[in-house]
Amino acid sequence: MSKDIRSFFLPKGQKSEKPNQESNDIKKSKKRPIIIDSDSDESVEIIPKKKKENTANKKSGTVKKRVEILKPVDASDLFGSEKIKRSEAKPALVCKESKNKSKSPKECEQIHFDDDFEATLCQIDQLEDEVLSKNDVHKNVPDGKETKPKISPDGSKPSGKTVEKKQNSSPEAKEKKHYEKKLSENKNKEVVTEKDLKKETPKKAANLNESLGSPADPVEKKRQQALSYMKYLQRGGPKHLGSKEVPKGKAGCLSGLVFVITGVLDSLEREEAAQIIEQYGGKVTGNVSRNTSYLIRGEDAGQSKLNKAEALGTSQINEDGLFDLIRTRSDNTSNESHPTPEGIKKKKKHEKTRAEEDSIPSKKAKVESKVEPTETKKSIESKKVSLEDKPSVESKQKSEWKSSKNKTSTLDIKNQNYNSENKTEKETKITADFADVKSSLWVDKYKPTKTKQVIGQQGDKSSLKKLTVWLENWHKNHSGNKKHVKPSPWAKNDDGAFFKAALLSGPPGIGKTTMAHLVSKELGFDVVEFNASDTRSKKLLHMEISELLSSKSLFGFCHLGDTVHQTSIKHVLLMDEVDGMAGNEDRGGVQELIQLIKNTRVPIICMCNDRNHPKIRSLANYCFDLRVMKPRLEQIKGAMMSVCYKEGLKIASEALNDIICGANFDIRQILHHLSLWSVKEKQFPSGVGQAGAPKPHKDMKMGPWDVVRKVFSAEEHKTMSIHDKSDLFFHDYSINPLFVQENYLSVVPAAAKGCVKKTLECIAATAESISVGDVVEKTIRSRGAWSLLPTQAMFSSVIPGDLMEGYMRGQINFPSWLGKNSRTGKLDRLLQELHVHTRLSISGSKQALNLEYLPHIRDAILRPLTAEGSVGVPETLNVLQTYNLLREDLESILELTAWPNQKDPMSGIESKVKAALTRAYNKEGILTPYSVVNVVKKRSAGTSPDLEDFEEGGEEEEVDEDDVSVDAMIKAKKSQKRSEEVPAKGPQGRGKGGNGSNSRGGQKRGRGRGK
């Protein structure tokens, strides 16, 4: 048995160590607080093994060495520290003991045991810290080195064993398991044996040594982790979910206690348990730390947590234990707010029986989670050690309880003493933190310093790469040797050689400015930056920039001897936030910028958020268009994780995801969020990223498509209040009702369950609500009753969404109402015009014209053409003349009378006939009683037509037209002037009137003639 092995090497090492260690320990105890604070590793790392790894890393570069060196050191550490701890921990315990004794002499024996156990736990606790501090000691104190060689001969044995094992063991699982078994055996033994054997410390030490030391080798650890992870994946839910009654305790009965839950509990979901604990004022954290009062363990508990808990001496309870705790504490707290030792004692008595009952199963669970066979061994051992079987187990259980109780109680007592101190400490800390935050914002602190660090811009096709290439080749490209052609905007692999400026566009907070700065820096350009804080009006821009660009930077002169001296001639002009160039201050800024770009001798980089802003659009024509995309979630997350790590901020992965999504991938925002969290966390040491924490949310403007999806999605409704729903409407209250109306038919309502009748009922109710919404909207618009908007929100969005909640079938359409409405308007205008034209001969109103006349008029016009062909042309013309219709009006009539699925009435007419009609029509020059103003609307009523002027005007116009067509650009103005003179002379009759109005009209007519 391993016991024997231990006994082999223990005594010697111990003796030799003792003095040394003691001295060490004194130092340690002094240094400890400082070390812990400064060492960020500790807070992040939970598993002691890892720490060892880290330290090993520090000590030796190669892995091999690490393994070899690591072992002896560990052993020595463990040995020594343990002993000394013991001596330290004892007095406190003893005094407690004495107290206990005085209270209940009956329990004395048990308490004795308990204290023993407690002591060992404390040792473990200390050990842990020591392992850490040891490293520092080793580094700092030369003595530490001396200890190493001394101890190594003794310590080498166990460690050597493990190393050997590891080296020899092929990656067969069997052996490993075997090994694990041994490990757990040792552990168990340790637990059991510890209790009674004060004298057996050497043994224990060895035991501990093994238990802590052996899993230290990384490969082993990895395997274990993999195993446990597999287990984790396979583990199911609670076995007897909801089978136990949750006791009702006093509010706040668990206050001040910190719990960690591991594994699958028997009857509760983890979240439930956490909720219960929080309900009673307890705290639930994710990781075991010194503050943890209880570890609630279920089946398949996490090994690392158990290890840590064991190491820290955290008492472990199961679910029933938790319930008991609630019951007992709520009894107690009625008397005293803080559990004092007496209180605990009472409780102990009270609980004894219960604990007895519970102890066995809980014990079992514990053992189960480790390796089963050890149970028997353990029991045998425990028999050996303490003669009674059950009591020992019991007592152990109790001891656990007590120790934790003691701990908490002592903590509480201490708290009272140290409270003030702690507070002040905390406060100073906080203020220090704030100062820290102020002095260096995370955004600045973790700003990328190299282009490689820019998030999400590492690809070959990334904007950053393109920008770099562009900037690198700028001088080459614009040296004047080569002429570049303006590339088509759809060209894929354009390096922007043509452009003298680049335009970086993208949402805020993704690193555009940083990118530009870094690229310029790395290529050795001097940056001249103008941003929204500078006035950038036309004049100033012209003056300042041209001055700047022609001068040299002093930077180069200040750094003499550097190569910078040469490169500083290269400038790059950074125009940040160009979309902010607006208002009176910056009037003409964009135009000036464009001019600047045209003539620049240095590269210019412009930046903006909204690429589609009308102002930017003109600028974009002269710029190499680089669109910076939002980085993906994973890209941001990686970087943020490392920031969190550096800042010592523990954050759950999902919480980080939430923050990132909530900030809409705005890295700057995310960092701000995180730094806020970090401050908070130090104030309230738990709860960061826990489920209860409110999710950070950046208010985003959603597009109407997203809005309408949300309006109808049953999924989203679960988490939305009526206010949230009506807020959706307000994202854009003018278009949202239209979107709802357009798309509600394509929703499959969940309420209908696929039944057509029900669906139709839903639709009818929705349509009714929408119709009311329209009435409300009309009222709002016509009377300016904007206070009714929430009412409209209800009718137009919330009620439809509620009635139809389900899921969208098919995609969301843009409201066709807008298109249809404008088309309605267009046809109405045509009709209006027709009405005006036919007014002299028709008595009816516009509507009557539309509903009754038009088809007949159309037929009257087209019939001769279809029936007789070209011969019918005069007759058609006659009709047109009678009704004072223009050739163009015929088109309008056709459009107005066209219905879907109807054959085109013009299709029966040969194109020859059509041409003949047009020709005849033009020749005839039908006179109308009205002026033809369809070309230019704003023209006052013309005089009555004049035949004599007709020919003249027409010819004159034709000459003009030719001129225009010959040299459109140059003569346009002139001809327009002339054409304006023509109508002034008088003639405004049909044919030439239209011609005379302006050159555009003339061209139109000309084309018509060409047919």
Partner 1 sequence: MSLWVDKYRPTSLSKLDYHLTQAEHLKNLVQQGDFPHLLVYGPSGAGKKTRIMSLLRELYGPGVERLRMERVNFTTPSNKKIEITTLNSNYHLEVNPSDVGIYDRVVIQELIKTVAETHQLDTAGQREFKVVLLSEVDRLTKDAQHALRRTMEKYVASCRIILCANSTSRVIPAIRSRCLSIRVPAPSPEQIIVILQNVCKKEGVTLPPELAERIASKSGRNLRRALLMCETCKVQQTPMQPSQEIPALDWQTFLEDTAKMVVQEQSPKQMSEVRGRLYELLIHGIPPPTIFQGLLEELVKSCDMQMKRRVVEAAAKYEHRLHQGNKSIFHLEAFVATFMSIYKTFMEEMLGGM
Site for partner 1 in 709-748 (CB under 8 A): 741, 745-746
547-576: which residues touch partner 1 (CB under 8 A)? Answer: none
Q: Which is nearer to partner 1, 249 or 864 (CB)?
A: 864
- Measured CA to CA, the distance from residue 889 to residue 830 in angstroms comes to 8
Among 761, 888, 946, 958, the residue binding partner 1 under the rule CB under 8 A is: 761
In the complex with partner 1, which residue's Cβ is closer, 560 or 941? 941
Concatenated DSSP letters for 246-314? PPP--TTTTTT-EEEEESB-SSS-HHHHHHHHHHTT-EEESS--TT--EEEE-BT--HHHHHHHHHHT-
Size of the site for partner 1 (CB under 8 A): 73
Cβ proximity to partner 1, 275 vs 866, nearer residue: 866
Q: Does residue 903 touch partner 1 according to CB under 8 A?
A: no
Helices (H), 532-610: 538-540, 546-550, 555-558, 564-567, 589-599
- The number of beta carbons lying within 10 Å of the beta carbon of residue 138 is 20
In this complex, which beta carbon is closest to partner 1, that of residue 11 or of residue 929?
929
Alpha helices, DSSP H, located in 486-588: 512-522, 538-540, 546-550, 555-558, 564-567
Query: Segment 372-431, which members bind partner 1 (CB under 8 A)?
Result: none
> Which residue type, as a one-letter code, is found at position 672?
H
**Which one, 147 or 741, has the nearer CB to partner 1?**
741
836 binds partner 1, rule: CB under 8 A: yes
- Which of residues 33, 237, 784, 900 is near partner 1 by CB under 8 A? 900
Spell out, one character per residue from 166 to 195, where the chain touches partner 1: x when CB under 8 A holds, - when not. ------------------------------
Q: Which residues pair with 604 in a beta bridge?
A: 501, 573
The answer to the question of residue 943 lying near partner 1 (CB under 8 A) is: no
Instruction: State which residue, 383 or 826, has the beta carbon closest to partner 1.
Output: 826
State how far the Cα of 185 lies from the Cα of 179, in Å rounded to an integer. 10
Candidates 345-353, 392-400, 634-642, 821-829: pick the segment binding partner 1 (CB under 8 A). 821-829
Nearest-10 Cα torsion for 748, 749, 753, 754: -30
| DSSP structure class, residue 871 | G
- Asked if 363 and 393 count as a contact pair (C-beta separation under 8 A), the reply is yes
Q: Is 59 in the site for partner 1 (CB under 8 A)?
A: no
Say which residue the tokens 């002095």 belong to.
439
Which residues in 950-969 contact partner 1 (CB under 8 A)? none
Residue among 693 and 772 whose Cβ is closer to partner 1: 772
Longest dimension (CA), the chain: 138
Stretch that binds partner 1, among 592-600, 660-668, 701-709, 843-851 (CB under 8 A): 843-851
In the region spanning residues 363 to 382, those forming contacts with partner 1, defined by CB under 8 A, are none
Note whether 986 binds partner 1 by CB under 8 A: no
Q: Tell me whether residue 742 or residue 963 sits nearer to partner 1 (CB atom).
A: 742
Exactly one of 560, 941, 969, 984 binds partner 1 (CB under 8 A); which one?
941
Separation between Cα atoms, residue 906 and residue 898, nearest integer Å: 11
Name the CA dihedral angle for 732, 736, 739, 744, rounded to a multiple of 10 degrees.
150
Q: State phi, psi for 503 to the nearest 5 degrees.
A: -120, 115
| CB closer to partner 1, 45 vs 833 | 833
Beta strands 623-627; 526-530: pairing state: unpaired
Binding mask 575-614 for partner 1 (x = CB under 8 A): ----------------------------------------
- Evaluated on CA atoms 436, 439, 443, 448, the torsion sign reads negative
Min CB(729)–partner 1 separation in Å: 16
Q: Which of 859, 955, 962, 980 binds partner 1 (CB under 8 A)?
A: 859
Q: Is 767 in the site for partner 1 (CB under 8 A)?
A: yes
Q: How far apart are CA 901 and CA 897, in angstroms?
A: 12
Q: Are residues 403 and 344 in contact, defined by beta-carbon separation less than 8 angstroms?
A: no
Kindly tell me which residue out of 12, 484, 601, 778 binds partner 1, with binding defined by CB under 8 A.
778
Residue 818 makes contact with partner 1 by CB under 8 A: no
Specify the DSSP element, H or E, that contains 503: strand 501-505
Q: How far is the CB of 996 from partner 1 (least distance, A)?
A: 17
Give the separation between CA 308 and CA 304, rounded to whole angstroms: 6
Name the one residue in this structure whose structure tokens are 């999605």. 713
By the rule CB under 8 A, 142 interacts with partner 1? no
x/- string (CB under 8 A) for partner 1, residues 797-816? -------------------x
Minimal distance in Å, beta carbon 753 to partner 1? 14
Smallest distance, partner 1 to C-beta of residue 958, A: 27
List 241, 360, 700, 760, residue binding partner 1 (CB under 8 A): 760
CA distance 314 to 411: 13
Rounded distance between C-alpha atoms, residue 668 and residue 441, angstroms? 10
Among 241, 432, 543, 764, binds partner 1 (CB under 8 A): 764
Number of H helices, E strands in the chain: 45, 11
Residues 485 to 504 in contact with partner 1, rule: CB under 8 A: none
Quick one: which segment of 560-568, 668-676, 878-886, 961-969 binds partner 1 (CB under 8 A)?
A: 878-886
Nearest to partner 1 of 325, 932 (CB atom): 932
Instruction: Tell me how far, at minimum, the Cβ of 757 lies from partner 1, in Å.
Output: 5
789 sits near partner 1 (criterion: CB under 8 A) = no
827 scored as a contact of partner 1 (CB under 8 A):
yes
For residue 950 the two structure tokens come to: 């007709």
At 870, list the tokens.
Answer: 């070209």
